[in-house]
């Protein structure tokens, strides 16, 4: 599966390097959002434990899961828009990846579509 994903990604990168970089930036945004969700969850856990809430773990986990799902949904919508606005060849290769790897592969598979390194990502030194 990894080889298939990296092969499809390489084809997407060769067809439209700028759009491929934009897809990778979506991955960076998702990683940032997931880190924020994790930090919020830790803070909430500390507050609920201090308040001796009997269902603290369940509350924190439910909020964390909802936050992570929301972040993934936003990333998937961004990926969908980037692919939908691409030329037909790019769209065809992205759809080929979807059929082989599942609709969420561009969001979930960090080996096939890795985030940009920090020096290239938004907020990095080379952006």
What is the chain written as a DSSP string?
-HHHHHHHHHHHHHH-HHHHHHHHHHHHHHHHHHHHHHHHHHHHHHHHHHTT-TTHHHHHHHHHHHHHHHHHHHHHHHHHHHHHTS-HHHHHHHHHHHHHH-TTHHHH-TTTSPPPPTTTSTTSTT-
Average pLDDT score over the chain: 89
What is the tens place of the pLDDT at every residue in 6-61?
A: 999 999 999 999 999 999 999 999 999 999 999 999 888 888 878 887 887 888 88
Q: How far is CA 84 from the centre of its chain?
A: 17
């Amino acid at each position: 599966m990894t080889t298939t994903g990296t092969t499809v990604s390489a084809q997407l990168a060769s067809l439209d390097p700028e759009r491929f970089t934009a897809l990778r930036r979506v991955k960076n945004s998702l990683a940032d959002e997931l880190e924020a969700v994790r930090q919020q969850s830790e803070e909430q856990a500390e507050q609920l434990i201090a308040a001796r809430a009997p269902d603290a773990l369940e509350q924190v986990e439910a909020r964390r899961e909802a936050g992570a799902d929301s972040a993934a949904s936003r990333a998937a919508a961004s990926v969908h828009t980037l692919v939908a606005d691409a030329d037909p060849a790019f769209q065809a290769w992205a759809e080929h990846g979807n059929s082989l790897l599942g609709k969420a592969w561009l969001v979930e598979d960090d080996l096939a579509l890795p985030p940009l390194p920090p020096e290239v990502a938004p907020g990095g030194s080379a952006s």
